[in-house]
Amino acid sequence: MQTPHYGALPAVHRFMDDVAVAAFEEPLGRTAVRTCVQEALAEARSAMAQRACPPPNYASLRGHVLGLLSQREASGLIGVINGSGVLLHTNFGRAPLAKAAVDAVRDLGGAYNNLEYDLKRGERGERYDRVASQLRELSGAPGALVVNNCAAAILLVLDTFARGREVVVSRGQLIEIGGSFRLPDVLSRSGATVVEVGTTNRTYADDYRTARTDRTAIFMRTHASNFRMSGFTAQVGPGELAAVAAESAVIAFEDLGSGALIDLSRFGLPHEPTVAESIAAGLDLVAFSGDKLLGGPQCGILCGRADLVERMKRNPLLRALRVDKMTLAALAATLACYCKPDRLLEIPLFAMLAEPESSLRRRAQLLCAQLRAGGSAAEFEVRPTTSITGGGALPCVEIPSVALCVGPQGSGPAGLARKLRTTRPPVIGRIEETRLVLDMRTIFPEQDGVLCDLLAGAV
Ligand SMILES: *Cc1c(COP(=O)(O)O)cnc(C)c1O
C-alpha cells in the first residue's frame, strides 16, 4: 500500500491565521485553538491511512476545525436566550440579576473592599452586618443571616438546634422538590430525627402538640412548592404553628422555599405568602432562597429571632456554608431595589412579570414580519401561550403570554431546536406538536435583534 501523502495537508499556521479560527482565541485561548486544529489534522491523517483517500481540502478541514471550536466553546458556561417561558429555570441559572447587582459584583469583586472590616473602629468587622440590616427592614425580623442556598439554610438550622433531637413535620409536607432535594433526607442528614405527624391530607395543631417530647427541638412547616393538594385537606398555618410551638417551648421554623419579599398580586399573580407575613405570624425562623421570587443571586436567607441567629453564627458549620463577597454584593444591590417602589422593575424577574401581553405581541409580530420579509422557507406565527414562574413557586399559575412559533419545516421542530442550541448564543424553546415555540416573556427585549438573525440563519 502507498504511504498517504500527509504533506498535502494544510499546515497548522494556515488555520491559525484564518480570521474565523482566530476569533476563538479570545474565548478559548491560543493553546486550545491550536489543539483543536491539531485534532482535526490528526483525524484527517488517520482517515487517509485507513481508507487510502486523498487529503481533504482546506475548506472541509476548516469546517471541521470550526465545529470542534464551537463544541469546545459551548462546553463552557455561556449565556442563552431563554424562550422556554419558565421565568425561574434552574437549568438556566434561575433569576437573572438586576443591572445594579451585576455592577456591584464587578466593582466589589474586582477590588478590595470592607467585607470583614469595620471602617469606624479600624478593626475586624462582620461579613453579614450590612445585608442583615436590609433584610431586617424588609422582613420585620429582628435577626437575619445569609448562606449558600436554602438547602444550606435548612441544614444550618437543623444542625444548630436539632442534632440528636426531634423535628416534628406534617406528613403532607415531607416533600421532594426535585434536583435530589428530599426534605426527609435533608432532615436525617443533619442528625435530627424526623417525627411525622398527621395524615397525608390533614394535619392539626393537636398533632404537633401530642408529638412533643423531651427531645423535641423544632416544629417545622414547609412550603409544598411544586405540588398542590386540594379537596379534603388541612394544614396548620404559620400563626397557629407559632402558637403551639410557643406553648410547647420549641422553635417554630418554616422553609418558605421561594420566599417572596413583596405581595406578587400587583403582577396579577395569586397571593404567595411573604417572608414578612411569616415573621408577623410569630414564626421563630424562616428560610428561603435568594434566586427564586426574590430575584437575586443564589443564596439562602434566614430571618427570625435575633438570639437564634446569634447561635447559628457561632456554629462552626457556618464557615463551610458562608457566602462570598460577590454574592453579598449582588444581594445587597438587589435588596436596594426593594427599598424604592420605582426601582422594583430593575429586577429582571419583575420586569418580565410586568410586561403587558400587548407589548409581547408587538415584539413577536415585529420579529415575524422581519423573518417573513427575509424570505425564509419556514412559517412564522404569533400565538398566545402561557409562562410559569418555576423555581417551585406558584406551580399551578399560568401567566398569559405570547409566543413566536416556527412552523413545520424541513428538519422538524426537534431538528430546529437542535440547530438553535448550537447558535451563539444558543436559543432554547419548547416543542409543541409540529412547532418550535419561543415564549417572548422570558426573552429580553434587547435580545430580539440577535434572535431574529439567529432564527433567519437557522431555518
Ligand atoms: C427551592 C426550595 C428549596 C431549596 O432551595 P435552594 O436555594 O435551591 O437550596 C428548599 N425548600 C423549598 C420549599 C423550595 O421550594
pLDDT tens figures, 201-242: 889 999 999 999 999 999 999 987 767 778 888 888 999 999
The Cα–Cα gap between 351 and 347 comes to: 6
Question: What is the atom index within ligand 1 of the atom nearest the CA of 152?
Answer: 9
69-92 pLDDT, tens per residue? 888 887 788 999 999 999 999 999
3-class SS of residue 146 = strand
Those residues whose C-beta lies under 8 Å from the C-beta of residue 453, and which sit 6 or more positions away, are: none
Amino acid identity for residue 287 in this structure? A
Is the Cβ–Cβ distance between 68 and 39 less than 8 Å? yes
Note the pLDDT of residue 2: 61
CA separation for the pair 158, 166 (Å, rounded): 10
User: Taking CB atoms and a 6 Å cutoff, what residues make up the pocket around ligand 1?
Assistant: 149-151, 177, 181, 222-223, 225, 255, 257-258, 289, 300, 392
Q: How far apart are CA 195 and CA 421, in angstroms?
A: 46
- 82 forms beta bridges with 428
Give me ligand 1 centre to Cα 226, in Å. 10
Sheet holding 86-88, edge to edge: 86-88, 380-390, 399-406, 435-439, 430-432
Residue 90 alpha carbon, nearest atom of ligand 1: 8
Q: Which pLDDT score is estimated for 410?
A: 72
Task: Tell me what pLDDT residue 218 has.
Answer: 98
Q: How far, in Å, from the CA of 287 to the mean position of ligand 1?
A: 9
Low-confidence stretches of the chain (pLDDT < 50) are 1
Q: Whose grid coordinates read 415585529?
A: 366
290 CA: nearest ligand 1 atom: 7
| pLDDT tens-place string over residues 268-295 | 898 888 999 999 999 999 999 999 999 9
Distance CA(342)–CA(220), nearest Å, equals 36
CA dist., res. 309 & res. 303, Å (int): 8
8 Å CB contact between 156 and 317 = yes
What is the pLDDT at residue 200?
A: 85
Alpha helices by DSSP H, listed for 250-346, are 275-280, 306-313, 318-321, 325-338
**Whole-number pLDDT of residue 232:** 85
Is-contact 278 241, C-beta < 8 A? no
